[in-house]
Amino acid sequence: MMGNLMLLLDAPGLNLQLLVDGVLVGAIFALVAYGMALVWGVMNLINVAQGELVLLGGYVVFFGTKAGIAPLVAIPVAAAIVATIGWALYRVVIYRVVERDPFSSILATFGLSIVIQQLANQLFGADVRTVESGLGSLLVAHGMLTVARVKLLAFVSAILLGSLLVWFMRATRLGQAIRATAQNSRAARTLGVNTDRVYAATFAINGAICGAAGGLVAMTWMVHPYAGLGYTVRSFMIVVVAGLGSLGGVALAGAGLGIAENYAGFLFGAEYQTAFVFSLLVVILVTRNLWLKRQRRYLR
């Protein structure tokens, strides 16, 4: 570890590489986290199956590109398909646990995550799937820094999608209804908002976000039926840090997490990279709880 630290000090260019990689992948994490924050804020539901929805999006893009669709076209398709799946999941399972205590929603979505994992394994096989973008890499700063164009693309797409969501929430009727329901569902109901439909739409929008993010994941890394948990945990962490309803906060927390992970992987070895993410989650939960207590508020 000391050797790695010395290496970083000797070659400052490496820091740049770790920072850039961290920010670029952080954008994908942030996108998934924003979907989680939306569902959490509006429906008071912690979606443990978030990572699995991401994987479904990845699979759609994988099979879409295999069938000859360009990856960039396949991403909206994935968003549409996973949105439909999200809507169906709401109609079958989620509506039963909305507005109930978080424990039942965690349990129900945890069950969903297992079902999706096993179904994906049965339908698509346990193979590792990846979409080759063929975009290559950019060499920056005399070859000191390499940036995979696909990561850049994922970063830009994540930001575009995030902005689109913000606009949607502010400018459209449905967006307003969603925000009204998030503020006070009972009041929204008395004012004529059909909250059941709002919940269904919210979960479908989350599905669309996850579907698009999944396509980016398949192009940047890979998908296989058991890769979901990592995305759920990361989103959870980002939401806990950034709070609900602030896209800027989510984006910052996402970038921070990406950078922290890259540094941890470099310094402690990749072996501890995931362990580091989980330990960081514990630390964050503890400190946030303390901080909220001091403000006489509680983490819901």
Partner 1 sequence: MARRLRVAAAMLLGAAVVSIPVAAAAPGVTEGAPIVFGAALSLTGKYSIDGKTTQQGYDLAVQRVNEMGGVKVGGQAHKLKIVYYDDESTSSRGAQLVERLISQDGVQFVLGPYSSGLTKAIAPITEKYKIPMIEANGADRALFTNGYRYLFAVLNTSDNYLRPAVTLVAEATQKAGHEPKAVRVGVVIENDDFSQDVRDGAVEEAKKWGMQLVVDDKLPPELNDMSSALTKVRALKPDLLIVSGHAKGAVLAIRQVSEQLVGVHALALTQCDSAQIIEKFGKAAEYALCAAQWDRSLAYSDRWFGTAENYAQRFEKEYKDPATYESAESAAAVLTFVDAIERAGSLDREKVRDAIAGTDLMTFFGPIKFDPSGKNVAKSMVLYQVQNGRYAVVAPGKWAKARPIYPAPAWDQRQ
Interacting residues with partner 1 (CB under 8 A): 4, 7, 11, 14, 17-18, 21, 25, 118, 121-122, 125-128, 130, 132, 137, 139, 143, 146, 148, 150-151, 221-222, 224-227, 229-230, 261-266, 269-275
In the block, tokens 């296989």 appear at: 224
Q: What count of Cα atoms within 13 Å lies in the side-chain half-sphere of residue 41?
A: 21
To partner 1, the closest distance from the beta carbon of 245 in angstroms equals: 29
205 or 257: whose CB is closer to partner 1?
Answer: 257
Cα separation, 190 vs 170, in Å, equals 21
- Amino acid present at 24: L
To partner 1, the closest distance from the beta carbon of 287 in angstroms equals: 25
Number of neighbouring beta carbons within 10 Å of residue 106: 15
To partner 1, the closest distance from the beta carbon of 262 in angstroms equals: 5
57 or 225: whose CB is closer to partner 1?
Answer: 225
Q: What is the 3-state secondary structure (H, E, C) of 193-224?
A: CCHHHHHHHHHHHHHHHHHHHHHHHHHHCCEC
To partner 1, the closest distance from the beta carbon of 27 in angstroms equals: 14
40 or 231: whose CB is closer to partner 1?
Answer: 231
- Amino acid present at 202: T
To partner 1, the closest distance from the beta carbon of 116 in angstroms equals: 14
101 or 271: whose CB is closer to partner 1?
Answer: 271
Cα separation, 102 vs 106, in Å, equals 6
